[in-house]
Structures are given as C-alpha cells and as structure tokens.
Amino acid sequence: MAKCFALMGWSLPVIESMEKLGKPYVVVSFPDFEPYAKENNIPFVPYQLDEWSDTSNSLDLFEKLQPYGVDVAVPLFEETVEWAGALNSIYRGDPRVLNRAFLFRNKAMMKRKALIGGLRVGLFEEVHNKEGVKAFMKRLNEANLQLEGEEDSWVHIKPFASAGTVGHRLLRSMSDIDEKCEDGDFPCLAESHLPGREFSCEAFIHKGKIRFLNITEYVHLGYSNFIPEGHYLESKRQLIHDHVQKLVDIFGIEYGMVHPEWFLTENDELNFGETACRIPGGHILELASKSWEFDALAAFVVCHDPNATEEELDAIFPPKDFKPKNYHGNVMIYPQKRQFSKLEIPEELNNEPYFVDHTLVPPLSTQKISDDREGFGNHFGTINFKGEDPDRMTELLLHYEKVDFYV
C-alpha cells in the first residue's frame, strides 16, 4: 500500500472516505482552504494550482510533499490532472505517465489517440475562429452528401481542457455559428454530432485491467442519471466492458479510474465521445456507492496505488457476483425563471415512494439568474430517488426535471 496519498484538490467527501479507510493522506489545494484544514487537523499543503503551463513547477510541489512521504498522487478534479500526472511520473520513474495525463486534458489529442487505436469517433478538427467552424460544417455537409436546402450537419464546439459542458455549444446551422460563437470560444475543438444513446462508464483500473465497471444511465445529460444501468444497457454490458478495456489499452492507462462517455447505436456500435480520469459530475460516485454498497471514493483513490495488493482491492470493491438491489438516481434542479423569490416543494414529491431527500435551498430574497452561465450553469440542489424499477426511475427523473421548484 502507498506510504501516503496526495489528494490533488479539495473534497470533503474524499477526505472523509480516507479517514474511514485509515490510509495516510495529505490534501494539496489552494491556500484558501488552509485555515479549515488546520482547524480540523487535516494534513494540508497549500499550493496555487493554477492552470497547467510550461512554467508550472511540479518539482517544487514534489519537494513540499517529501516530508509527508507521498508516493501516489490522485487527481480529484479536471484542473489537477496534469499536476498528478507530473508527480506520478516522478514517483514511478516513468515520463509517459505525464504524457498520458495530457491525453485527458486535450480533447483534440484524446480524439487522435482514440482514432489511431481503432475506436469509432466522429470527424473532428481544431478551429481558431468562426470561419474555421463554417468551413468544418461545410465539409461535414459534403461528406454527408447533403443537397441544397437540406438541414446543415450539426457541429459541437468545446474547449480543449474544460470539464463537463463548460464552453460546449451545439451549432445546428451556419447562422448558429454567427449567433452563438464568441471570440473567447477560440481556439477550440469542433466535432461532428455522434448518433446513439449516450451514457458513461466509471472503470476502476489496476495494473491495466478493469477491476470494477459501473455503467451510468443518462436520462438527460447534465440533468439526471441513475445507477446501475437500466435493462437495455445491462444487456450490452459485455460489449461495453470490451470497449472500455480497449480504451484502457489504447491510452496505456495503468492505474486510477476512467470516466468515458459513449454513444450506443441501434446496430450495437459504440461511438467514443471523450473520457476523463477524475471524479465525475452528477454525484455519480455517490450514487454508485449506494447502489453497489461500497465506498466508490475510497476505491477511486486506492486504484491509483501501484502497490495495492489483491487482498486490499478485494476488500474495497463489491464481490464479483454482487447484484444491486435498488436503483439510485437524482435530478439536478435549475431555476426555470430568471427571477424568483421562493422554493416550492410539491406535495406529490413528498408522497412519492421512490423519493429519498433533496438538497434544495430556499432563496434568501428575490434572486436573479444571469444569461451568461457556463455549461448548464450551477444547479440549485439535487432530488434523490431510490427504487427497484429503472423504468419508473426514468419517468420520475424526467418529470421532476420539468417541475418549477423556484417561483
């Protein structure tokens, strides 16, 4: 087992999991968290983890961590992936560990590596301005043999290194490019629209092999999901497992967890969207912990340790024949009005047998939402459900996504 884990980023749930596990750790995060860490006896190294660049000094951070005996770094958030990769390159004596970290942080590089390895990906290109996006859409139209007057091919643009949906724009027409794109969006990745049913996986990797695979059913990307997957995706589990292992092999991933997103077509073809190697959004690991009855956050950390033994891994993951008894899902609530003054919880929610709890907070006064939100914006809380029927779970999540809680 590792002498000490460096947790790259601030996460109280991960800290709590490490305390329960009884494993040595130190948190590396912004100096703003230091007072709280001292007050609560949390081992802490303050560091200005700004965006990675050629001037980032991982050797300086390495020196600061030496008194703690750190030999494994764990990236908790998107912005700490390169930092963990740089540290682990030193700890393992392997510069390729950092190179692999760059794969997760540059979506264009990621797509090229997946394509070279034989995964199905859409057409993609790095673009530097609106004219570049228009040229890309035009080439897509030509490739799709579209005729004059037919709808343009859809194009997605997204930043090279942002998490989730931040900066992500769907462009359905040439006019959308002029209306929706801004100078600050560039340079970025442009890619074709991928067909199929979108879902994610959370694959815990040790020594290059999938130790445990969770499949998350996306009811509505950015709004709602549940775990384990419903009946249809469950019937494709072996197909999905094989593709995730192929991704792991192509990227040369040895330790940690990957969070790839896929699109499954009616012809049982899997299109690769993108992948990450940090804690996913949407409370996914929290839902996985409840359904699979294990501490997914602790498992996430331990899988980064090359020296973890088979016995230690067996102790932390669910038994191989374990079948979840219930589905756990949530819907993230976004205000539907730009201005609101109170929170209203419908009585039907309190009477719903699948309803567990919610984290919605009443506004202190009349509140306004700006138009320039990144991604989906910040949700105002989550409603949690638990039940035995995935179809009923899907109905509930879709229904409560449309309910206006903030009026």
CA atoms within 13 A on the CB side of 12: 4
Structural domain of 83: 5-104
381 SS3 class: coil
The per-residue pLDDT for range 326-375, each reduced to its tens digit, is 999 999 998 888 788 889 999 999 999 999 999 998 887 676 665 444 43
Distances (CA, A) of 310 to 186, 305, 318, 401: 46, 12, 13, 42
Given pLDDT bands bounded at 50, 70 and 90, which one contains residue 51?
low
Q: Which of 324, 347, 374 is the last residue of a domain?
A: 324
For residues 52 and 170, state if they share a domain: no
Whether 92 and 210 map to the same domain: the answer is no
The 10s digit of each residue's pLDDT in 71-111 is: 999 999 999 999 999 999 999 999 999 999 999 999 899 99
Say whether pLDDT at 324 is over 80: yes
Identify the CATH number of the domain in which residue 283 sits.
Answer: 3.30.470.20
Is the pLDDT at 378 greater than 60? The verdict is no
Residue 80 is part of a domain; what is its CATH number? Answer: 3.40.50.2000
Which residue has 């700004």 as its token pair?
50
Same domain as 185, residue 136: yes
Q: Looking at the structure, do residues 49 and 150 belong to the same domain, yes or no?
A: no
Q: Give the rounded percent of residues in the chain with a pLDDT score beyond 70.
A: 94
Per the omega criterion (within 30 degrees of 0), is the bond before 228 cis? Answer: yes
What's the domain count of the chain? Answer: 4
Residue 197: pLDDT band by 50, 70, 90 thresholds?
very high
- Whether residue 114 is contained in a domain is answered as no
Cα distance between residue 360 and residue 42, in whole Å: 29
The answer on 224 and 305 residing in a single domain is: yes
Q: Which residue has the tokens 């990621």?
A: 110
Residue 147 lies in a domain: yes
Query: In this predicted model, what pLDDT tens digit does every residue of 246-271 receive, in sequence order?
Result: 999 999 999 999 999 999 999 999 99
Asked which of 143, 163, 192 is the last residue of a domain, the reply is 192
Residues 212 and 183 in one domain: no
Whether 357 is in a domain gets the answer yes
- pLDDT score recorded for residue 27: 98
Tell me, yes or no, whether 160 lies in a domain. yes
Last residue of a domain, one of 268, 303, 324: 324
Token pair listed for 393: 């779970």
Average pLDDT across the chain, whole number = 92
Residue whose C-alpha is closest to residue 78's, from 143, 170, 137, 164? 164
Please tell me whether residues 204 and 223 are part of one structural domain. Answer: yes
| 118 located within any domain | no
Residue 113 included in any domain: no
What band does 376 get if pLDDT is binned at 50, 70 and 90? very low
User: 279 in a domain, yes or no?
Assistant: yes
Q: Are 30 and 307 in contact (CB under 8 A)?
A: no
Q: Are residues 387 and 292 in the same domain?
A: no
Q: Examine the domain organization and report whether 264 and 342 are in the same domain.
A: no
Instruction: Let me know the angle formed at the C-alpha of 12 by 10 and 13, rounded to the nearest 5 degrees.
Output: 120
For residues 34 and 69, membership in a common domain is answered with yes
Residue 222 lies in a domain: yes
211 and 320 fall within a common domain: yes
Note whether 224 and 316 are same-domain residues. yes
Do 82 and 138 contact (CB within 8 A), yes or no?
A: no
Residue range 150-167: mean pLDDT, rounded? 81
Cβ-based neighbours of 235, under 8 Å, separated by 6 or more: none
Global pTM value: 0.90
Q: What share of the chain is helix, strand, coil (3-state, %, to 5)?
A: 35, 25, 40
